[in-house]
Amino acid sequence: MKIMVCLKQVPHQDARLDIDSAGTWIQESNIKFEINTYDTYALEEALRAKDEGECEVVVVSIGPDRTTQALRTALGMGADRAVHIKDEEADGSDALGLAKLLAAVAKEESPDTIFTGFMSDDDNFAAVPPMLAELVGLPHTTAAVKVVRGDSSLTVDRETEGGSYEVVELPLPCLVSVQTGINQVRYASLKGIMAAKKKPLDVKSVADLGLSGSVGAGAAKVKIEKIAPPPKGDTAELLEGSTDEVVAGLVTKIKELGLL
């Protein structure tokens, strides 16, 4: 069995968000990066399948040099092989462009299952997984909170609203995007980290994948015109001062509300 896991390296959750000079993204120098939270759950889901039986886990990511670190981390957690799509020609790709690159790898790999995170911590688009499924011609579902593997299908609980779930059955091969909390993500062991250095990590260019001219900024159908902090319109009245002053203010307000 083979499972492909798509990973994205994103700014660390607590990174400073300073707008870049073009005004279309944040400044990426001087911040830390990590594997997108949702994708760590996707990787863990694949590694659990691997714990249970014979299974090759291939992790794939699109990004510059720094993305190698994310892939090595994934290999350290237990993935078998990594594919790094690294090419400036991919810069400025929209979700469809990214999905085309991943689809090209998926067509080469022919996995039984593709696991991805539901969305990314940075752009929160949640677009690539269903697009990837469409381009590869696989059935899919999103926001999975439970996956049960059958002989030729997956039975997936997908999260809907207000604490409800829909259960859907997908024939293999298929793609599932997972929600946070679907499992508890393991840490890479020291032994795993050492072993990761020797595991295969292949680098592919846009041309290698036969997609020259089909991805990147030139091919993108949508683009960010501008990024900015939200307008400070009706925000909260702020209580300022020492802790004692602030606490006194809060107690006064709670009394005013008739709740104390």
Interface residue with another protein among 42, 128, 176, 178 (CB under 8 A) is 128
Interface residue with another protein among 31, 135, 188, 195 (CB under 8 A) is 135
Q: Does 53 bind another protein (CB under 8 A)?
A: no
Q: Where are the alpha helices (DSSP H) in 80-144?
A: 95-109, 128-136
Q: Which is nearer to another protein, 1 or 127 (CB)?
A: 127
Which residues, 6+ apart, have CB-to-CB distance to 160 below 8 Å? 166
Interface residue with another protein among 152, 187, 190, 228 (CB under 8 A) is 228
Binding-site size for another protein (CB under 8 A) equals 81
Q: Which parts of 63-82 interact with another protein (CB under 8 A)?
A: none
In whole angstroms, how close is the CB of 32 to another protein at the nearest point?
15
Cα 95 from Cα 184, distance rounded (Å):
28
Q: Does 108 bind another protein (CB under 8 A)?
A: no
Q: Does 208 bind another protein (CB under 8 A)?
A: no
Tokens of 194: 């050492």
Interface residue with another protein among 55, 57, 143, 178 (CB under 8 A) is 143
- Whether the CA torsion 165, 166, 167, 171 is positive or negative: it is negative
Q: Do residues 4 and 113 make contact, with C-beta atoms less than 8 angstroms apart?
A: yes
Tokens of 143: 């926001």
Q: Does 235 bind another protein (CB under 8 A)?
A: yes
Q: Do residues 168 and 174 make contact, with C-beta atoms less than 8 angstroms apart?
A: no
Q: Does 59 bind another protein (CB under 8 A)?
A: no
Pick from 85, 11, 49: which is nearest to 178 by CA?
49
Q: Does 217 bind another protein (CB under 8 A)?
A: no
In whole angstroms, how close is the CB of 103 to another protein at the nearest point?
9
Q: Do residues 143 and 159 make contact, with C-beta atoms less than 8 angstroms apart?
A: yes
Q: With contacts defined by CB under 8 A, name the span among 43-51, 72-80, 85-93, 174-182 that binds another protein.
A: 174-182
Q: Does 148 bind another protein (CB under 8 A)?
A: no
Pairing state of beta strands 33-35 and 153-159? unpaired
Q: Which is nearer to another protein, 22 or 259 (CB)?
A: 259
